[in-house]
Amino acid sequence: MSDRPPTSPRQERWDRRMEVPLAVASAVYLAGYAVRVLARDQLPRAGVDLCLGAILGAWAVFVADYVVRLRLSGLRPLRFVRTHLLDTVVVLLPLLRPVRMVSLYDRVQRRRDEPRLSLYARVMVYSGLTVSLLGFAAALTVYHYEVDAPGASIRTFGDSVWWACATLATVGYGDMVPVTPVGRLVAVGLMACGLALLGAVTGSFSSWLIQAFTREDEKPGGGRGGDEGRPPGGFPGAS
Amino acid sequence: MSDRPPTSPRQERWDRRMEVPLAVASAVYLAGYAVRVLARDQLPRAGVDLCLGAILGAWAVFVADYVVRLRLSGLRPLRFVRTHLLDTVVVLLPLLRPVRMVSLYDRVQRRRDEPRLSLYARVMVYSGLTVSLLGFAAALTVYHYEVDAPGASIRTFGDSVWWACATLATVGYGDMVPVTPVGRLVAVGLMACGLALLGAVTGSFSSWLIQAFTREDEKPGGGRGGDEGRPPGGFPGAS
Amino acid sequence: MSDRPPTSPRQERWDRRMEVPLAVASAVYLAGYAVRVLARDQLPRAGVDLCLGAILGAWAVFVADYVVRLRLSGLRPLRFVRTHLLDTVVVLLPLLRPVRMVSLYDRVQRRRDEPRLSLYARVMVYSGLTVSLLGFAAALTVYHYEVDAPGASIRTFGDSVWWACATLATVGYGDMVPVTPVGRLVAVGLMACGLALLGAVTGSFSSWLIQAFTREDEKPGGGRGGDEGRPPGGFPGAS
Amino acid sequence: MSDRPPTSPRQERWDRRMEVPLAVASAVYLAGYAVRVLARDQLPRAGVDLCLGAILGAWAVFVADYVVRLRLSGLRPLRFVRTHLLDTVVVLLPLLRPVRMVSLYDRVQRRRDEPRLSLYARVMVYSGLTVSLLGFAAALTVYHYEVDAPGASIRTFGDSVWWACATLATVGYGDMVPVTPVGRLVAVGLMACGLALLGAVTGSFSSWLIQAFTREDEKPGGGRGGDEGRPPGGFPGAS
């Protein structure tokens, strides 16, 4: 949200210090959840407990971070919840958390001082990674709820991933569809992600094109060089 | 329509005064319709009558408002219908009315003097709310017409909502589809809404991106600050 | 195509003079085709002949117009075909012709000196009408080829229209699909139209949004007037 | 990738010299693969060997080109792989190669000194050709893997092409879907292409529209000429 109050230096320091721990906790949470869902029956007693421990531990980190942020903001709890709606949702549904790992990837790449990608490429990479992680989490959850449902068409984790891909691309073959209420709820969320992904793809393509055209407009005749056969502007095309 | 004649002060006063009553009537209409459709068999005789009364009452408010507007405009009826095509459609199909509640929400928030959202966020919120309301109304109507149709795949209201979501996202699984003529007519309308929603999402994303890029272009090197890992411009992303 | 040679005054005069006859011929062609397809069995012998005559007569007008244009252009036939690819396709497949009626509609409205719609509204109206006409023609053709095919799911003209709508919106339920080669070829063409329609919708929405934002940017604080709750710029929204 | 190091004159000379051989090798590869897949059972022993020879020969050309590029770049192998990710993928999956033929087509047209298409038309032609070639390659591969799979719905090459079209347009009827892991992997790739195609179509339409509007804005009243009924800017519309 763009209307949140300005962050104080202490908050910023906290944000920067928690970046890595939160990303690690997110990865642990996702891994624990994945193992628990995918290896349900094969897992020994101790393994199940370990997974549960990892999940709960990661969750505890998220809650602690949320509470500290609430304190640092100096706001009343209800107002904090209202202005940090997304943070609140993410604390309650930590499966949406892995998205944080994306921003970490960007940060690491910047620290190594590698040349930055253009805005369009970054939007593509960002949305690609985000959507992959959310799609994986959704496939896990849907598989978890559908596998034992009577009359379900999603029977293996592979089916679930296939369904998630078809949904994210808004193709929607319909050969496999969730039939349980929770599965359908997750599916609706995934459809929203698919629409946003589509928006990101078409949006970045469109703005790249507009920029390329504007640039070509400004240097008339300049487009007649050697490399001109391919579209201008360094968009990642097949070469 | 952008080519309607300029509104007089009296018309504007009427518009402002009717904003709340019309929104209330819309809510009453939608509620009455929902109760009548969803609780058909369980409802006692009096309840059915109450619902019908609410629906007809709300409709009367819509018609009265339409007639007053026609008078205030000073146009001949046929010309008024031609230049206010949308208003006419909405009077005949009051289920499209709930959209008005969206504009009320915006107005209330402005009166409380809360900081305004950016144009993109407003477009997102607007189209999200509008689409939810229309999707709900469409799910109701389709359920109403499909539930008793022979060979129908939409059997419960949950099915109908699931179908509406898959249609709005243009995913279209096809596990559930309307089979009656009225149901299909509503479905075609909903598909048009889905296309418009897609246009709103990709359009606002694209323009946000163009603006973000233009801004970054103007301050060269300025993007190297601490918060630069995430996309610029305050778009509501997962953080 | 933007690279066709400049038209001479004689060509322009011919274009203007043929506008109405061609549109009428297109309407006659479409009507004849529709009657022949939809009323196949009920039609008496004379009716069938009449339809066929109308179709062939309209086609003759198209071919004559094409030949005159070829003469007026002063180009060799092969070069004319290359530079007027679209015209050539339309002569061979006159069902794509009805699109011409759209441009006539615009012309008529201009002659009556009515206030012009904004570019966005015109793009919406244009693509809406074009897509409706092409969808109708496609539904006719698919129905014509599918109705007697073994194992077909499209059995009535209503089914065919329903399938065309789901295809144009890229929803694609899959409850009804063409199974004959010709039907599938038409379907692929319709999918391309669907993509173009999507492009038109999102494109015009996106550019309207960019323009609206730019305008709001230029008059800071100016957006605080009475009508500001709704999105700026006069886009045809529900009111 | 826009962050690859600048190319030396020797590299550029190599690029230019290899353009035609690589395109020929791509065509040979695709043709050999198509014959092998489509005429599996009818082909005599010698034909199979010939196809295999053509495929391997073309692949050898790709690998040789890759190695020469690696040498000319002067980079360590691992770094070259990292900065030329796309080239590496294309060497491993030569079916993605035919895309190169598109750039050749453009080059040939330029050499003949024909008038250039506008950027929008070029983007359309480019993405159209690319998508057709990738769709063809995907249909081949899916057919290859699905034809003998138990419970498969894709039984003929025609089915496979039909499925590829429905997937690329993100329509996704679901009457035919791949059921083998490889087929589904290819399908996911094709969905990504479909999203990119959609982005290209809506993007170019949107930027064309913005440009057209800006131009009309600048010359007020200038749009009242004879040709004004159709949308401005020479977009390839039906005429």
Model pLDDT for residues A56-82, shown as the tens digit of each residue: 999 999 999 999 988 888 888 888 888
Q: Which residue has the tokens 């309307």?
A: B178
pLDDT at B103: 63
pLDDT at B209: 72
Let me know: does D177 contact A175? Beta carbons within 8 Å.
yes
Mean pLDDT for chain B? 78
Mutation target to probe the B interface, by most B beta carbons within 10 A, among A10, A165, A170 is: A170
Measure the CA–CA gap between B81 and A62, rounded to whole angstroms: 57
The chains in contact with chain D, meaning 3 or more Cβ pairs closer than 8 Å, are: A, B, C
Which of 139-178 (C) contact A at CB < 8 A?
Answer: 170-174
The answer on pLDDT for A181 being more than 80 is: yes
Residues of chain D in contact with residue A209, where contact means CB-CB under 8 angstroms, are 119, 123, 203-204, 207
Please give, rounded to a whole number of angstroms, the shortest distance from the CA of D110 to a CA of chain C: 14
pLDDT, greater one: C237 or A40 = A40
Residues of chain A in contact with residue B225, where contact means CB-CB under 8 angstroms, are none
3-state DSSP assignment of residue A40: coil
Distant-in-sequence, close-in-space partners of B137: CB < 8 Å, separation ≥ 6: B30, B33, B95, B96, B98
Please give, rounded to a whole number of angstroms, the shortest distance from the CA of B28 to a CA of chain C: 18
DSSP 8-state symbol, A173: -
Instruction: Indicate the residue of B3, B174, B200 with minimum beta-carbon distance to C173.
Output: B174
Instruction: Indicate the residue of A197, A201, A210 with minimum beta-carbon distance to D210.
Output: A210
D212 near C CB under 8 A: yes
The model's pLDDT over D105-114, given as tens digits with 9 standing for 90+, comes to 666 666 665 5
The model's pLDDT over D36-72, given as tens digits with 9 standing for 90+, comes to 889 877 888 888 889 999 999 999 999 999 999 888 8
- Average pLDDT of the residues in D83-96: 81
Measure the CA–CA gap between D202 and A201, rounded to whole angstroms: 10
Distant-in-sequence, close-in-space partners of D238: CB < 8 Å, separation ≥ 6: C86, C90, C96, C99, C100, C130
Residues of chain B above pLDDT 70, percent = 76
pLDDT, greater one: D170 or B88 = D170
CB atoms within 10 A of CB B30: 22
The model's pLDDT over B102-141, given as tens digits with 9 standing for 90+, comes to 666 666 666 665 555 566 777 777 788 888 888 999 999 9
- The nearest alpha carbon in chain A to B210 belongs to A207
Q: For A82-104, give the DSSP string.
A: HHTHHHHHHHH-GGGTTHHHHHH
Measure the CA–CA gap between C229 and B129, rounded to whole angstroms: 14
D94 near A CB under 8 A: no
Kindly give the residue spans of alpha helices, DSSP state H, lying in chain A.
9-38, 45-73, 77-83, 85-92, 99-111, 119-146, 157-168, 181-218
Q: Which of D209, D238, B204, B202 is nearest to C119 (CA)?
A: D209
Please give, rounded to a whole number of angstroms, the shortest distance from the CA of D19 to a CA of chain A: 11
Q: Which of B111, B112, B109, B137 is nearest to B125 (CA)?
A: B109
By CB atoms closer than 10 A (0-12, 13-18, 19+), residue A96 is buried
pLDDT at B231: 40
pLDDT at D57: 93
pLDDT, greater one: D90 or B153 = B153
Q: Which of A236, A227, A238 is nearest to D91 (CA)?
A: A238
Instruction: Indicate the residue of C86, C96, C192 with minimum beta-carbon distance to D236.
Output: C86
Q: Which of A206, A214, A199 is nearest to A235 (CA)?
A: A206
Instruction: Indicate the residue of D172, D173, D202 with minimum beta-carbon distance to B202.
Output: D202
3-state DSSP assignment of residue A187: helix
Cβ burial D63-85 (10 Å sphere, 16+ → b, else e): eebbeebbebbebeeeebeebbe
Please give, rounded to a whole number of angstroms, the shortest distance from the CA of C78 to a CA of chain D: 16
- The residue type at D24: V
Measure the CA–CA gap between A174 and A153, rounded to whole angstroms: 10
- Please give the structure tokens belonging to residue A238: 């097949």
Measure the CA–CA gap between C25 and C98, rounded to whole angstroms: 9
- Average pLDDT of the residues in B2-6: 49
The model's pLDDT over B16-31, given as tens digits with 9 standing for 90+, comes to 888 788 888 888 998 9
- The nearest alpha carbon in chain D to B170 belongs to D171
Measure the CA–CA gap between D34 and D137, rounded to whole angstroms: 8
The answer on pLDDT for D221 being more than 80 is: no
Measure the CA–CA gap between D34 and C3, rounded to whole angstroms: 36
Please give the C-alpha separations between residue B153 and each of B94, B183, D3, in angstroms, as whole numbers: 27, 12, 53
Mutation target to probe the A interface, by most A beta carbons within 10 A, among C173, C198, C202 is: C202
- The residue type at D205: F
Please give, rounded to a whole number of angstroms, the shortest distance from the CA of A186 to a CA of chain B: 11
Measure the CA–CA gap between C78 and B173, rounded to whole angstroms: 47
Please give the C-alpha separations between residue B238 and each of A33, A129, B89, B130, D176, in angstroms, as whole numbers: 20, 13, 39, 23, 36
Let me know: does C55 contact C25? Beta carbons within 8 Å.
no
Measure the CA–CA gap between B237 and D192, rounded to whole angstroms: 22
Let me know: does C163 contact C177? Beta carbons within 8 Å.
yes
User: Phi and psi of A160, rounded to 5°?
Assistant: -65, -40
Compute the Cα dihedral for B209, B214, B217, B221 and give only its sign. negative
Distant-in-sequence, close-in-space partners of C145: CB < 8 Å, separation ≥ 6: C178, C180, C182, C183, C186
Residues of chain D above pLDDT 70, percent = 76
CB atoms within 10 A of CB D148: 9
Measure the CA–CA gap between B62 and C178, rounded to whole angstroms: 44
Measure the CA–CA gap between C69 and C91, rounded to whole angstroms: 12
Check if CATH label 3.40.720.10 holds for domain A117-219: no
A131-140, B75-84, B112-121, C49-58: least confident range: B112-121
pLDDT at A236: 40
Let me know: does B169 contact A170? Beta carbons within 8 Å.
yes
- Do B210 and C209 lie within an 8 Å CB cutoff? no
Domain limits of chain D?
Answer: 7-97, 117-219
pLDDT at A118: 66
The model's pLDDT over B172-210, given as tens digits with 9 standing for 90+, comes to 999 999 999 999 999 999 998 888 888 888 777 777 777
- Average pLDDT of the residues in A174-202: 89
Measure the CA–CA gap between B77 and B73, rounded to whole angstroms: 10
- Do A119 and B201 lie within an 8 Å CB cutoff? no
The answer on pLDDT for D239 being more than 50 is: no
Measure the CA–CA gap between B140 and B37, rounded to whole angstroms: 7
Q: Which of C195, C227, C185, C231 is nearest to C211 (CA)?
A: C231
Please give, rounded to a whole number of angstroms, the shortest distance from the CA of D12 to a CA of chain A: 9
CB atoms within 10 A of CB B202: 32
Which of 125-144 (C) contact D at CB < 8 A?
Answer: 126, 130
The model's pLDDT over D2-39, given as tens digits with 9 standing for 90+, comes to 444 556 788 888 888 888 888 888 889 989 999 988 98
The answer on pLDDT for A29 being more than 50 is: yes
- Please give the structure tokens belonging to residue B55: 């629906």
pLDDT, greater one: A194 or C111 = A194
- Do B173 and D170 lie within an 8 Å CB cutoff? no
pLDDT at A126: 77
Measure the CA–CA gap between A174 and A55, rounded to whole angstroms: 33
Measure the CA–CA gap between C88 and C80, rounded to whole angstroms: 9
Residues of chain A in contact with residue C171, where contact means CB-CB under 8 angstroms, are 172
- The residue type at B224: R
Mutation target to probe the C interface, by most C beta carbons within 10 A, among A197, A202, A205, A208 is: A202
Please give, rounded to a whole number of angstroms, the shortest distance from the CA of B129 to a CA of chain A: 14
pLDDT at A184: 95
- Average pLDDT of the residues in A178-184: 94
The CATH number that domain B117-218 falls under is 1.10.287.70
Confidence of residue A23 (pLDDT cuts 50, 70, 90): confident
Please give, rounded to a whole number of angstroms, the shortest distance from the CA of D56 to a CA of chain C: 34
Which of 33-92 (B) contact C at CB < 8 A?
Answer: 86-87, 90
Q: How many residues does chain C have?
A: 239
pLDDT at A116: 54
The model's pLDDT over D159-194, given as tens digits with 9 standing for 90+, comes to 999 999 999 999 999 999 999 999 999 999 999 888
Residues of chain B in contact with residue A99, where contact means CB-CB under 8 angstroms, are 238
Mean pLDDT for chain A? 78
pLDDT at D181: 93
Confidence of residue B82 (pLDDT cuts 50, 70, 90): confident
Confidence of residue A201 (pLDDT cuts 50, 70, 90): confident
pLDDT at C187: 95
A211 near B CB under 8 A: yes
Residues of chain D above pLDDT 90, percent = 28
Measure the CA–CA gap between A89 and B239, rounded to whole angstroms: 11
Residues of chain B in contact with residue D172, where contact means CB-CB under 8 angstroms, are 171-172
Residues of chain A in contact with residue B169, where contact means CB-CB under 8 angstroms, are 170, 191-192, 194-195
- Do A198 and D203 lie within an 8 Å CB cutoff? no
User: Phi and psi of D184, rounded to 5°?
Assistant: -70, -35
- The residue type at C105: Y
Distant-in-sequence, close-in-space partners of D171: CB < 8 Å, separation ≥ 6: A171, B172, C167, C170, C171, C172, C191, C194
3-state DSSP assignment of residue D8: coil
3-state DSSP assignment of residue B236: coil
Measure the CA–CA gap between A51 and A34, rounded to whole angstroms: 9
In a structure prediction context, what are the per-residue pLDDT tens digits for chain C, which is 239 residues long? 344 455 678 888 888 888 788 888 888 998 999 998 898 778 888 888 899 999 999 999 999 999 998 888 888 888 888 877 778 888 888 888 766 666 666 666 666 555 555 667 777 777 788 888 889 999 999 999 999 899 899 999 999 999 999 999 999 999 999 999 999 999 999 998 888 888 888 777 777 777 766 665 555 443 333 333 334 333 443 33
- The nearest alpha carbon in chain C to A203 belongs to C206
Measure the CA–CA gap between D173 and D151, rounded to whole angstroms: 18
Tell me, rounded to whole angstroms, the distance of Cα C129 from its chain centroid.
Answer: 6
pLDDT at C100: 62
